[in-house]
Structures are given as C-alpha cells and as structure tokens.
Structure 1
Amino acid sequence: MIGSREWINLSNGKLSFKEKSQIIKQVLLPATLNYSKTFFKIEPQSITIQFDQFKIPDTSIVKEAIAELESTNNQAIVTHSWRSYFWGIAIAQIKNWQFDEESLLIASLMHDLGLVDHLEQYACQCFTSESALRTESLCAKHHYQKDKTENISNAICLHMNGYLDENDQNLSKEVLLLQKATSCDVIGTDFSTFPLNFRDQVLEHYPRLQFNAEMRKLISIEAKRNPLSRTALMSKLGLPSMIQMNIFKE
C-alpha cells in the first residue's frame, strides 16, 4: 500500500507519477468529503466519554516517548500529539473498536518527530520515515514485541495518507485510529461526533497554541525539502488551505 512502512522502504518515500494518480483517486474524494462534513451541524454521539476515565499507560517506553516528544521544544506539536491520542481513543469507543492503548499512545507521541526536526536532510524523502525509524529504535531499546513495533511503525507511516478505508482488513485498528485522530486534529474530521464536554476537556488540558499556523509552516518546509513526498502532493492539493479554514478558529 502506498504510504506503508514497506512502501517507504522500497520507494524511499518518493511518489511516482502513477502513484500520485492513485493516491489522488483513492484519497482526494473521500478526504474532501470528510472535510466538508466538518462544517455541517452534526449531533454529537449520545455516548458518555469522560476525559478522566482514560489512564496513560505508566511504562518505561511511554515515559521515554514522552521525553522524546518534549525534547522537540515545540509545544504546538506536543499538545497536538496528545490530542491525537485522546481523539483516537474516543473514536475507538464510539466505534466499539478494540485496540492496544500503549501502541496507539506511542504512535501518537512519536508520529511527527521527523516533521519537527527539519534542521537536517534525512536519507528518506518523507518525514514519516524518520519518525518511524526513531520509534523503531525506541522499541528496540525497550525490547518491544516485533509485531507491535512493526504495527506502530506502519501506523506512523500511513497517517499522512489523508484517508484510509476502515473496512480494509489488512489495516490494524491502531493504524486506522492514528490516521483518523490526526486528521481530526489537523482539519476537524470526526470532531463534531464527540460529546461536548469531552471536546472541552481535551482542549483545556492540551490547548491548540496556534497549531494551525505551526502545522502549515512545517508542511511548507517539508514540501520544499521533499518535493516528491506525499506531504508535497497533499500541499498542492490544498491541505494548507484546509488547515487554515478548519473548524478550529485560531
């Protein structure tokens, strides 16, 4: 699949002309439709979701992932990463999906590390690869299970696709949740389905801190650095404008 860890290993993160056409066909229409729905008035789910009911896994690998994220000194990305985790577990609760909380948390905390650290040129033409490599190194240090490490790495690589088919049996729930959660925080998809009190609690604990402007800046840097990447393609297709006009007015 385009955007997967396997694809990045083979392509070095560069989209061919054929792959650009494929991803436009597979992603652009559903992603645009999901984005347009964010401006419709939708009744929140009647399900009760309490922010305080979710406990952060207190493990050594999670603690180090938190330290890695905080070392970026980019508070807009730090809070974005935490919000992504909470949007993800809320989506899972609404859909009644079973998933591994620790794996989703690690993926959420680490997914944008390669995007923030733009001071050097990485060998791969995609920031998600750098994020995945750092995560794999962290997992190896903590002797994490191979299958879980591969799943987390794949989730990080695929989150930039903009849309994933949740009926695809080859995609794990963690992969789907990270993509949906990051899309929620970046352009607002699924946000209106959350109970109002849960939205407010997450935003109170992890404020956006002018995240729209920061993400647009980072995307611009990445697109210029890696012009054949998915980020560059999404930028050309209007992602910065979607961020600027999203429901999170900043």
Structure 2
Amino acid sequence: MPDDNGFEEAGRMLTEVAGVRAPDGQAAQAARLVCEEYADAALYHHSVRSYYFGAAWARARGLDFDRELFFVSALLHDLALVPPFDSHTYAFEEAGGHLARVFTAGLGWPVQRRDRAAEVIVLHMRDDVAPEVDVESRLLQVGTSADVSGSGLDAFEPAFREALVEAYPRLGFAGSFVRLFRDQAERKPGCAASRLVAGDWPERTASNPLDGR
C-alpha cells in the first residue's frame, strides 16, 4: 500500500519495464532508497522514468553504456531541488553534482568514477552532448528532456511510453516541477533553470503528451 508520500512499500521498484532493465546491486539500491526517502513520489518517479527513457534510447541505437553509473546519476540528478540539499548559491545541477560525489564516496567509488557521476548530473542541464563523446551524459539529457517537456518523445514506441507511465505514474509531476524551477530561477538568476523558465519551457512541460495519454 502507498504510504503518506504516495510510495508503495520499500523495494517495490520494477527492475524491467517493456524489456528495458535497471541495474541491481548495492549502488543502485542505495541510490533508489535515497531518492525515495528525500524526493516526493512525483519527483522519484521522474528520476526512475528518466533512467528508463535513456536506457531505451541507448538500446534502440545499440549503444553500450555504464548502466550502474547512469542509474545512480539519474536517481540523484534532481535531489538538489529538495530542501535538505538545496543550495542558495549553486545551480541545482551543480549542487547535485557535489551531492553525487559525497554519495558515491560512501559507496567506495574511486575519485574518477565519483567525478563522472557529478559530470553526468551537471551536463544534463547543458547543451547536448554527442553520445560518442559522453554516452551517459547524453542518455540523461535524452531521458530528462522526454520526461519533462516531451522533447524527443517520437523516438520511443507508444507501447514503451504507456508501459513506463503505467509502472511509474506522473502524479501531477509537470506542475510541481515547473514550480520547483520557478523557485530556482527567482533565487538564482542566470542559472540554466532561469533560462528555461524565461522561454516556452513551462508551456511545453505543461502540455507534455505523457500527461494526456
């Protein structure tokens, strides 16, 4: 049964959606538990969907990627939007990168791998990265863009999109996420979130086809 935050019991996460698998193991489980604990259900579901969108995009193109690194980065990428980790000086993606470094240090990851987790999170809010240059960063860009504003959704089969939203419902995500970005924009002028809010991103997010399926 869902708890007061809209979550079902711990450990409920599906490891496969429409043939796309998520990793298991200590790092993946820890990232899932931390995201589930600190994010509300809508933001948690977004983080998981972002992973599945990115992994599905890679599978369709035959791209090899570090599944554990990508999953951990996807589950942590928005945690700096929540009050315990919000920074009043750093853009949320930069604060999220620092959070990822601390989190993965606790897992015993070497410095280079910790840096990669931070880099993937920071770059998801930057200009597109070519997959041949940095595949995990590109996958997080693809996954978050599809899930937030619907950008690139045509690359995914309708059956996959249906299965993913069925497994991890939207729960009013669009409205709550726009509010989070507006808050970032007001407090941190010049950040990537403020540039999005100043354009048509809020309207595109509100009209994401995933919400009208």
**Counterpart position of 1:47:** none
1:110-129 aligned within 5 A: 110-117=76-83, 122=87, 124-129=89-94
**Counterpart position of 2:61:** 95
What is the letter of the counterpart of residue 164 of structure 1? D
Question: Relative to 1, partners in 2 of residues 1:141 and 1:201: Cα closer, same or farther, differing over 3 Å?
Answer: same
Cα deviations by residue, 1:139-185 (Å, 9 ceiling, x for unpaired): 11111133322222111001112x40426x5x310011001110010
The number of residue pairs the alignment matches comes to 197
1:143-158 aligned within 5 A: 143-158=108-123
1:32-51 aligned within 5 A: 51=17
More relative contact order in 1 or in 2 (CA 8 Å, sep 6+)? 1
**Counterpart position of 2:10:** none
Aligned counterpart in structure 1 of residue 157 of structure 2, from 195, 198, 217: 195
- The gaps in structure 2 that reach 5 residues or longer are 1-15
Separation in structure 1 between the aligned mates of residue 120 and residue 28 of structure 2, nearest angstrom? 17
Shift of 1:240: 1.1
Question: Relative to 1, partners in 2 of residues 1:105 and 1:128: Cα closer, same or farther, differing over 3 Å?
Answer: same
**Counterpart position of 1:59:** 25
- Secondary structure (helix, strand or coil) at the match of 2:98 reads helix
Shift of 1:120: 7.4
Separation in structure 1 between the aligned mates of residue 182 and residue 106 of structure 2, nearest angstrom? 33
Aligned counterpart in structure 1 of residue 197 of structure 2, from 210, 235, 247: 235
**Counterpart position of 1:105:** 71
TM-score by length of structure 2 reads 0.85
In 1, are the aligned partners of 2:88 and 2:187 still within 8 Å (CA)? no
The sequence identity of aligned pairs, in percent, is: 26
**Larger deviation, residues 122-131 vs 136-145:** 122-131
Separation in structure 1 between the aligned mates of residue 165 and residue 19 of structure 2, nearest angstrom? 16
Q: From the CA coordinates, give the structure whose radius of gyration is larger.
A: 1
TM-score by length of structure 1 reads 0.73
- Secondary structure (helix, strand or coil) at the match of 1:249 reads helix
Aligned counterpart in structure 2 of residue 86 of structure 1, from 28, 38, 52: 52
Shift of 1:195: 2.0
Is residue 2:139 matched to residue 1:177? Answer: yes
Separation in structure 1 between the aligned mates of residue 49 and residue 98 of structure 2, nearest angstrom? 22
Question: Relative to 1, partners in 2 of residues 1:59 and 1:218: Cα closer, same or farther, differing over 3 Å?
Answer: same
What is the letter of the counterpart of residue 141 of structure 2? Q
Separation in structure 1 between the aligned mates of residue 78 and residue 90 of structure 2, nearest angstrom? 15
Shift of 1:245: 2.5
Aligned counterpart in structure 1 of residue 35 of structure 2, from 54, 69, 72: 69
Separation in structure 2 between the aligned mates of residue 201 and residue 82 of structure 1, nearest angstrom? 13
What is the letter of the counterpart of residue 57 of structure 1? P
Shift of 1:249: 3.4
Separation in structure 2 between the aligned mates of residue 203 and residue 231 of structure 1, nearest angstrom? 25
In 1, are the aligned partners of 2:91 and 2:188 still within 8 Å (CA)? yes
Question: Relative to 1, partners in 2 of residues 1:115 and 1:121: Cα closer, same or farther, differing over 3 Å?
Answer: closer
Separation in structure 1 between the aligned mates of residue 136 and residue 74 of structure 2, nearest angstrom? 10
Cα deviations by residue, 1:87-109 (Å, 9 ceiling, x for unpaired): 00010011211101001100110
**Larger deviation, residues 105-114 vs 233-242:** 233-242
- Secondary structure (helix, strand or coil) at the match of 2:21 reads coil
- The gaps in structure 1 that reach 5 residues or longer are 1-49
In 2, are the aligned partners of 1:152 and 1:174 still within 8 Å (CA)? no
**Counterpart position of 2:168:** 206
Aligned counterpart in structure 1 of residue 128 of structure 2, from 164, 171, 192: 164
In 2, are the aligned partners of 1:151 and 1:172 still within 8 Å (CA)? no
Separation in structure 1 between the aligned mates of residue 66 and residue 85 of structure 2, nearest angstrom? 33
